[in-house]
Amino acid sequence: MNPPLPSRRRALAGGLGALAAAGTLGPFAAGCSAPAASASGAARLRFWHLFSGGDGVNLAKMLDAFGADHPDIDLEAVTLQWGAPYYTKLGMAGVGGRAPELAALHLARLPGFGPGTLLDPFDLDLLAEHGVTEKDFPPDIWRRGRVGGKQYAIPLDTHPMVLYFQTEICEKAGLLKDGKLAPIRGAEEFTEVLRRVKQATGRPALVTETLGAESVGGWRLFSTFYSQTGGKVLSADGKRLVIDDAKALRVLEWMASMTAEGLWVRRVDALGAVGVFNLGKTGFLLGGEWEVTTFKTNKVPFSMTRIPDLFGRPTAQADCHSFVLPHQDDRGGAPNEAAHTLVAWMLKHSVDWAAGGHVPAYLPVLDDPAYLKLDPQSEYRSVLEDVELDAPAWFNGSASRMWIELGDVFSGVLTGSRTPRSALAEARERIRGFLDTPNPLPGAAS
C-alpha cells in the first residue's frame, strides 16, 4: 500500500510513481536537464526512494520537517515502485549521468551498481562539516559502503529478522521474566519453548512466511540460521560458492522438523503470517522488524526481541537502507551540497525513522533517550553488531533474484514439498547459475 504523500510532493510522486508502476517512465525522465536552482533561487534536490506503507509515512513527515528547516533547498522526493522496477530505473539513470542528486539503495546491492560508474562517491569532508564521520557507524556496515577507497553508500539503518512474541500467550506458557522473554539458548531449547506454547494454546506456536509469489521468507530464515553456524554461502569477494553442506543440512533439517511436528504454521504467505499473529492465533512470529507499526496500531499485546542464538552465533539476516549519489556528469555545486545536507540531517533525526522498527545505523542515536523510550523498537538494538549481510555480488541483496529464487527453494523445505537434501542441491545449482551470469546492468561490473 502506498499512502498519500504531503501535498507539496503528491503530484510529482504520484505521477512518476504511476508511470514507474506501469513501466512507462523513461530512464531519465525525472532528471533530464533539471536546473541546479529552482525559480525561487533555492538549490534543487531530487531524491528517489522506494519507501511506501509505514516507511513512506515516516519519511514524508521527516522530509516535511527537513524542508521547514531548510528553506534554501527545493526538495523533490519521488516514490518509485519497490523492488526490481526501482533498481532498474535507478541503474539506467546512472548510466545516462542524468540522475537525481540522491537516492536510497539497499546496501547489499551496492556491488551490482558499479560504484564509480553508476554511482558517485560521497564527499566525506562535506559530511564532516555537518558532524557526520566514519566513527559514527558500526565498522562492518560502514566498510560495506566503501569501494576502492571511496565511500559510495552511507547507511541509514539495518533491518534484520527479529522474533515477535505475544506477551499474554508467553506469560500463560511461563516464558516471561520481568515482562520480557526469558533467554533461549540453542535449537533444542527453542524447540521446547515452542512445544510449551503449543500445549498452552492448542495451535502451532510460530508463524513465518513459508510460501507465496516471489516469497523470500525461506531464504531469510535459512540465511539467519545458517549464518549462526558460521557457514558462508559465497566467498568474501562474492565470486565463489563455498556453502558447507553439513552446516546447511543441519539447519534445513531442523527447519523441516518444525513444520513436520506442527510447531510452525506450514502453509502461509507473508501477509497471511502477519494476519495470523495479528489475531493472536500463534505465540511467535519470525519476520522483518517493520511490522511493528501494524501490531501497535492494532493494539496487539506483543513485544519483540532478537532471534535467539540457536546454532552457535547470535547473528540475524539483514540488509541496510543507505543513501547513494547516482552518477551525474556534472555533479557538484549547491545541489550536491544539498544532498549531503539531507543525508546528515536524516541520520541525526533517525529516532523518527526508528519508530517504524528499523535499527539506526548512526550510533549516537542509539543512546538518545528518545530512542531508548521507543518500546519495543529499542529492545533489539544490540543486533546492529551481529547482522549478516549478503556477500558482495551483483545478484545479492533485497529484492534480488537470488532472494526470490532461493526463497522458493527453501520454502519447499518448510511446506514439505522438498527434502532438505534436494533443496540444498537445487540451491547450489541456482547459485552457480548466478555466478556464471554477467551483471545485466549496463556499465556495472559483474
Q: Residue 160 corresponds to which cell in the numbers above?
A: 534484520
Return the C-alpha torsion angle 294, 297, 298, 303, nearest 10: 70
| Structure confidence at residue 441 (pLDDT) | 77
DSSP, res 309: B
pTM above 0.95, yes or no: no
Q: pLDDT for 78-120, tens place per residue?
A: 999 998 899 989 988 878 767 999 999 999 999 988 788 899 9
Encoded amino acid at 321, one letter? H
Please compute, for residue 289, the number of CA atoms within 13 A of its CA located in the half-sphere on the CB side: 33
Q: What is the pLDDT of residue 440?
A: 84
Q: Between residues 7 and 163, which one has the greater pLDDT?
A: 163
pLDDT digits (tens, 9 = 90+) for 26-57: 333 333 334 565 546 789 999 999 998 788 88
For residue 182 the three cell numbers come to 526469558
Q: Which of 40-54, 164-178, 417-431 has the lowest mean pLDDT?
A: 40-54
| Dist CA 362 CA 317 (whole Å) | 19
C-alpha cell at 56: 513512506
Dihedral sign for Cα atoms in the order 65, 66, 69, 72 = negative
Compute the average pLDDT of residues 302-308. Answer: 97
Nearest to 255 by CA among 220, 283, 303, 300: 220
Sign of CA dihedral 434, 437, 440, 443: positive
Q: Give the Å distances, CA to CA, from 389 to 115, 223, 228, 430.
A: 18, 9, 13, 19
**Does 19 have pLDDT greater than 80?**
no
Domains defined along the chain, listed by start: 7-158+321-381 (3.40.190.10), 159-318+385-435 (3.40.190.10)
Q: What is the pLDDT of residue 37?
A: 58
pLDDT for the residue numbered 18: 33
Enumerate residues 6+ apart whose C-beta is below 8 A from 147. Answer: 110, 111, 115, 116
Chain segment 216-242, per-residue pLDDT in tens: 999 999 999 999 999 999 999 999 999
Q: Could you tell me the CA-to-CA distances from 149 to 145, 152, 322, 340, 443 in Å, in that order? A: 10, 9, 18, 19, 20
Q: DSSP assignment, residue 151?
A: E
Cis peptide before 314 (omega within 30 of 0): no
Rounded CA separation 221/134 (Å): 31
What is the rounded distance in angstroms from the CA atom of residue 180 to the CA atom of residue 310?
A: 19
pLDDT value, residue 115: 86
Looking at this protein, which amino acid is placed at residue 142? W
Distance CA 321, CA 59 (A): 13
Q: 79, 13 in Cβ contact below 8 A?
A: yes
DSSP string, 11-33: HHHHHHHHHHHHT-S-TTTTTTT
Q: What is the mean pLDDT of the chain?
A: 90
Alpha carbon distance 424, 243 (integer Å): 9
Residue type, 5: L
Query: What letter represents residue 349's amino acid?
Result: H
| Banded model confidence at residue 445, pLDDT cuts 50, 70, 90 | low
Q: Is the pLDDT of residue 8 over 80?
A: no
Share of the chain above pLDDT 70, in %: 90
Question: How far is 127 from 33, CA to CA, in rounded Å?
Answer: 26
Cα separation, 226 vs 424, in Å, equals 12
Residue 50 Cα to chain centre, angstroms = 11
